[in-house]
Amino acid sequence: MIESIAVSPDARALLIGNSLGAKAAVTAVALRKAARDAVSLRERLDKGDIEVAADITITGVEQVGSTGINVKFSDGHHRAIYPVSYLTELMVTVDK
pLDDT of residue 96 exceeding 50: no
**Domain regions of the chain by residue span:** 2-94
Pairwise pLDDT comparison (93 vs 31), residue with the higher score = 31
Q: Is 2-94 CATH 3.60.15.10? A: no
Q: Confidence band (pLDDT; 50, 70, 90) for 1?
A: confident
- Give pLDDT tens digits for 26-77: 999 999 999 999 999 999 999 999 999 999 999 999 999 988 999 999 999 9
Long-range contacts of 52-56 (CB under 8 A, 24+ apart): 54/29, 56/12, 56/28, 56/29, 56/32
Instruction: Name every residue whose Cβ is closer than 8 Å to that of residue 12 and which is 6 or more positions away in sequence.
Output: 27, 28, 29, 56, 57, 58
| pLDDT tens, residue by residue, 12-23 | 999 998 777 878
